[in-house]
Amino acid sequence: MLAGDLELAESFWAKLLGLMFRAGLADGGGMWLPGSPSIHMLFMRFPIDCVFVGAAGEDGARPVVGLRRSLRPWVGVVWWVRGGKGTLELPEGTIDRTGTAVGDRVTIDR
């Protein structure tokens, strides 16, 4: 499990604000940005891991199409991930802790 407590950022403004200005993410927390194949780290105060996923298949699972570990506050920008149809922003270390790899399939229950 990548996150047990996943916040949804569906609107333009929710995606723009994302995790900006927050003090951190709790273990097991995260943010789901559907339809977003890119992210920025402006106004962020802590590093995060990002899992980029493709479109959901018939079973609802989404392929992992990109991973970015330990994106640093203010300087990390991921302009575009090929095949990305959404982004999971997760606490730093989540990718390594879970062994997540490109090609894995994840289900997002919201």
Q: 12-38: per-residue pLDDT in tens?
A: 999 988 898 899 999 999 999 999 999
Rounded to 5 degrees, φ, ψ at 62 are -120, 135
d(CA 24, CA 93): 13
**Predicted pLDDT at 75:** 84
List of long-range contacts for 97-101, beta carbons under 8 Å, 24+ apart: 98/1, 98/2, 100/2, 100/51, 100/64, 100/67, 101/64, 101/67
Q: Which of 16-20, 42-46, 103-107 has the highest mean pLDDT?
A: 103-107
d(CA 55, CA 4): 21
CB 51 within 8 A of CB 104: no
pTM greater than the 0.75 cutoff:
yes
Q: How confident is the model at residue 110 (pLDDT cuts 50, 70, 90)?
A: low
**Predicted pLDDT at 48:** 96
**Predicted pLDDT at 16:** 86
Domains belonging to the chain, first-starting first, are: 5-106 (2.60.120.1140)
- Strand 62-71, strand 48-53: pairing: antiparallel
pLDDT one-digit tens code per residue, 81-91: 999 999 999 99
